[in-house]
A and B are shown apart, each in its own frame.
Chain A
Amino acid sequence: MPNARVLRDIKARHGVRANEIARRAYLYVARNETLSPQVRHHAQLQLNTFERYTRPTTVKNRCIESGRGRGVMSEFGLCRFQFRLKALRGELPGVSKASW
């Protein structure tokens, strides 16, 4: 069972996917300088009505093993400690402990 922060992040990811096209349409209108200011303003107000977990910025790549939010290596999706554990166990192909 993933921890609460991971569950929240999963919720945000699904929210982003469900609302992405509508948000993009409003963004297009709101940022379009060739349209009238009133229309753009209304589009911006509509953008503001979207709930929190529909914004792509609320999504954070957390550790897929432990759920830790900091020190996550994007290449492996693991935090530094889980990365070390897995690498030492030999579960990460091409990763070995350096020694010289």
Chain B
Amino acid sequence: MASAVRISAQAIRPARLAALTQLRCQLTETSYNPQSLRTGAKYLRARLRGPSMVGYYPDGFDIAQIVRRYPELEMVDEDEEERLVDVMDRKKRGKGAPKKAKTKSDSRRLGKKR
């Protein structure tokens, strides 16, 4: 009995089978793609990853940022003030950063011995 069913299935023309599949796709509202071509639909279907990516690092408490954002509060970033005082001290002792070279010949790199 089973073999009889198989023979009859083979006897159906491919065009008829294709039409059946097409009809089935219409009914189930899926796209009919007999050659299994890549449609790129997965790039549209996938969820957007950007929004969750942005929130990975927790927001730290940054005083410098707050001071910059609200100048009317007149807050003082003590660490920054201390750093500036240190820089001034170093400059007074002649240990500050060297002057920027105006021309190429001023560059200290040229005088460097290798």
Contact = CB atoms under 8 A, between A and B. Distances in A.
A is bound by B: yes
B60 interface: yes
- Is chain A's interface secondary structure helix, strand, loop, or mixed overall? helix
Interface residues of B, number: 19
Contacts of A30: 40
Prevailing SS type, chain B contact patch: loop
Interface stretch (B20-28, B46-54, B66-74): B46-54
A64 B6 CA distance: 63
A59 to B, nearest CB: 6
Interface residues of A, number: 26
Interface of A: 1-2, 6, 9-10, 13-14, 16-18, 20-21, 24, 27-34, 56, 59, 61, 64, 77
B95 interface: no
Contacts of A13: 50, 53-54, 56
A30 B40 CA distance: 8
Contact of A10 (B43, B49, B57): B57
Nearest to B33: A34
B55 to A, nearest CB: 9
Contacts of B51: 17
A52 to B, nearest CB: 16
